[in-house]
Structure 1
């Protein structure tokens, strides 16, 4: 018997070794397809440490940030080799997308102050590989309504992709705390404090709010608004660090990266390091554990209302995790989850994955919930209609009310995406119909090239992925509702909400109306 156990153990060990070697060889072959690393992949600017961030004020941070950008100019921009001096390289001073050549370099931190005394303050946190540019539309709207808006550049972002190779999520949290301190300085006393977070910034916003429940020294936010929040990530992120193991050998320095791509976006990195995925996983693990613990001991009952806007289809973060790891634990405090459904007026069934069919039904409440769920989708009462409706399950309800929207689902768009949610359709960089008052050297939302596969240096995902939100006006309307009620009173949501007056839909009828159907079945 002992002999058989030893033999089985050796066999299992051999299988593990073979699998490991196979994965290693596959990874090394993948690295051969990567282009050579450039200066922006190898130079890492020195950011403030966690201790420095926790001791700094806003002026200190801006001074340090200026030094970081000056260092990038010296070590990268001024040393560009001839082959990298191309019009669509964001680090080429004479290029059309060089950020410093624009009236405002939206890679940098900024504060928008309202006319007159602030009515409140809001901290806006951008996503991973992103920059403060992605938060400017919402920041401007808050400022227009009398809020002081603080938009901080999170460490490792806005400069060079290599900045993300040695940063930790704890650095981002320290920067978040600094931004909140500045927000409270601008709007002190009992004025309302909001946090707005996009993707990775959404996780940071929730983490700050949960930290504030345990640390009385932290100012508690009165509302949280999340856009495509990174509450959970794919299983791949858990093991992303393994992909970087070959980088311990100098010959395999490219293993530090999951993708090496030309940097043609002035306000977002295209290349993505292994450490970025690793930190996103570490952050979500810490956040989920903290939420579960606070829910168990009852402290989560004091968390601020959370309003979330999420594409039903999201390849970057886990949409179900938003419910299972966050909303399922929330008290009845006025929180809402708004989902943007796929475009079901067009029969994409042969092209869409089977999981897409079930995605919506899995998110809808089969039992009463403590929060409100809203779904934006096609008006299925009309055959192949591009008209849309907003269907809403109020807290505690299992039937939906319905509101007709004055927005059509674009016929050539089958869904939103993770990156589309924060941007209006007329955004000058990401919009499908960019407005003309600003131009950043490229209009990424309008690119629609056709040709032979394998010819482009970038994945087609960079070009075909939806980058703007046709339902942005509705989202903004909902955000403004929170702005006008910036500091909700304590108590149950049912005590603070106006009664629904829209017609009710049975849940089964709701699902029937939102399921894609063949033309002869409609």
Structure 2
């Protein structure tokens, strides 16, 4: 039997696509089985007390915290069991445990003093002037938002740091988490923070990376559901809005793990790396990428629908900090998918340019300049700021501000007040995704001399040199900047923004007693 000619090409195309997917799955599976190191207990064992959207739909935030307390008690018991096994095993088998974040006596545990910021927490103030909910990024922990929380608290805002389900415990807990679990946790925490704010206090909602996507998704929900308190401001850092198209393959590459072959469980992991970071998983499961891809798809659809329905006119003011060079989520999502749709000067995007000193011209990529040229040439309905070198001969930087539609910039008063302290360090060429929200003297991620704690140097200061293969991770990963030399600018900008919001709110209260 011969196929009709009109059916031959679709069939051939289908078979080619099927062959491509099969080659992709088999190729990745071979890489995982042959190239990735052995699975450790924290890659395979699970905890049972984690929050799930369906199983725990009726919880309020107090209930969420109670369940989280049970989860961390379970984690503590699991660590004790591993410690007992370590004492009775050869070091060759349990060497990774001894030096990992899961050993309470390890160097990184001393550095983080027991890592208390792996958990959700309420950080109160004596007389709260407002309430904020801050959401960390993928494989991170609430510690990612600590510096921002400290800044807001110094101005009188009580802050809730949310631990997203699957985070802060074992990397294996990311294998089963779904986007709906994260969105449910955000909704529970946001309801609690909004209730604490009441009608008289401002409610800020902030997020980093995946947490930024979740903050935007919840903000869009509030535009449709009058029962949800709309944030008074949204604070974002490197929000995950768009991912490269290759991220879509996360839906299929780990399919062979369903086969009952233990060795194929490694296909569930994109990376298996020593867990030396007390506040971030280094190992990366395929499912983590899959869920953040789903989050970006949902966000893009939500923004499109809200724009078509005219709801974005009611969007709370959005303030975003973004590096023009971002190897994780890129900068184009914030520019083209979010800010291109936001109308009004109240929405502000702050871009951190690369170091453009003359002696670096021969080695910097031209793509960042092309992005800035495109932004400045495009119509803008929002306020734009660019933090860049004062001139090619100087390490000093300043922020310039463009009002919506303006072709001429004005000096940003916040950065002007910080001069001459804003300087590029001699050995830094750019910020990046994992550096925006940490000060340079941070005890975990700071790069400044003396950063660290209890005689343990900060991870951000590990600038090691040697031959490839000398370490169990790529030496290049240790040159990625983990903290921000211009954190003082973000800190001052947040402070000025909050003061302006509080003053405006006080003015509204006086005019409408």
TM-score by length of 2: 0.88
Specify the alignment match of 2:343 in structure 1: 331
Q: 2:310 and 2:195 mapped to 1: Cα distance?
A: 31
Residue from 252, 255, 258 that aligns with 1:245: 255
Structure 1 segment 152-231 matched on structure 2, within 5 A: 152-231=162-241
Measure how far apart 1:178 and its partner are. 1.7
In the alignment, is residue 459 of structure 1 matched against residue 477 of structure 2?
no
Measure how far apart 1:25 and its partner are. 3.8
Measure how far apart 1:200 and its partner are. 0.7
In the alignment, is residue 265 of structure 1 matched against residue 277 of structure 2?
yes
Measure how far apart 1:179 and its partner are. 1.5
Matched residue SS, 1:451: coil
Whether the 8 Å contact between 1:114 and 1:145 is mirrored in structure 2 is no
Specify the alignment match of 1:283 in structure 2: 295
In the alignment, is residue 309 of structure 1 matched against residue 321 of structure 2?
yes
Specify the alignment match of 1:43 in structure 2: 45
Specify the alignment match of 1:88 in structure 2: 99
In the alignment, is residue 67 of structure 1 matched against residue 60 of structure 2?
no
Return 5+ residue gaps in structure 2 as ranges. 506-513
Q: 1:125 and 1:4 mapped to 2: Cα distance?
A: 55
Change in Cα spacing, 1:247 to 1:104, as seen in structure 2 (3 Å) is: closer
Q: Report how many aligned residue pairs link the two structures.
A: 486
Measure how far apart 1:296 and its partner are. 1.1
Deviations 1:111-169 (A, max 9, x none): 11112x31110001001000011111111221221111000111000001111111111
Structure 1 segment 435-454 matched on structure 2, within 5 A: 438-439=453-454, 441-454=456-469
Whether the 8 Å contact between 1:57 and 1:182 is mirrored in structure 2 is yes
Q: Choose 428-437 or 394-403, whichever is displaced more.
A: 428-437
Measure how far apart 1:77 and its partner are. 4.8
Q: Choose 174-183 or 280-289, whichever is displaced more.
A: 174-183
Deviations 1:257-314 (A, max 9, x none): 1111110001110001111111111111111111111111111111100000000000
Residue from 485, 494, 499 that aligns with 1:479: 494
Specify the alignment match of 1:366 in structure 2: 378
Change in Cα spacing, 1:402 to 1:13, as seen in structure 2 (3 Å) is: same
Change in Cα spacing, 1:235 to 1:56, as seen in structure 2 (3 Å) is: same
In the alignment, is residue 26 of structure 1 matched against residue 27 of structure 2?
yes
Change in Cα spacing, 1:435 to 1:182, as seen in structure 2 (3 Å) is: farther
In the alignment, is residue 401 of structure 1 matched against residue 410 of structure 2?
yes
When the two chains are superposed, the root-mean-square deviation of aligned CA atoms in Å is 2.5
Whether the 8 Å contact between 1:223 and 1:487 is mirrored in structure 2 is no
Whether the 8 Å contact between 2:118 and 2:169 is mirrored in structure 1 is yes
Q: Choose 398-407 or 37-46, whichever is displaced more.
A: 398-407
Whether the 8 Å contact between 2:186 and 2:214 is mirrored in structure 1 is yes
Change in Cα spacing, 1:187 to 1:440, as seen in structure 2 (3 Å) is: farther
Deviations 1:12-34 (A, max 9, x none): 55644553443234213311111
Residue from 150, 160, 163 that aligns with 1:140: 150
TM-score by length of 1: 0.87
Measure how far apart 1:109 and its partner are. 1.0
In the alignment, is residue 390 of structure 1 matched against residue 399 of structure 2?
yes
Q: Which runs of 4+ in 1 moved over 6 A?
A: 1-7
Change in Cα spacing, 1:29 to 1:442, as seen in structure 2 (3 Å) is: farther
Structure 1 segment 119-134 matched on structure 2, within 5 A: 119-134=129-144
Where is the helix percentage greater, Structure 1 or Structure 2?
Answer: 2
Change in Cα spacing, 1:184 to 1:451, as seen in structure 2 (3 Å) is: same
Measure how far apart 1:245 and its partner are. 1.4
Q: Choose 155-164 or 29-38, whichever is displaced more.
A: 29-38
Return 5+ residue gaps in structure 1 as ranges. 491-522
Deviations 1:152-208 (A, max 9, x none): 111000001111111111111111122222223433232100011111111111111
Change in Cα spacing, 1:189 to 1:357, as seen in structure 2 (3 Å) is: closer
Q: Choose 326-335 or 350-359, whichever is displaced more.
A: 350-359
Measure how far apart 1:472 and its partner are. 0.7
Specify the alignment match of 1:426 in structure 2: 441
In the alignment, is residue 150 of structure 1 matched against residue 160 of structure 2?
yes
Change in Cα spacing, 1:235 to 1:481, as seen in structure 2 (3 Å) is: same
Whether the 8 Å contact between 1:96 and 1:440 is mirrored in structure 2 is no
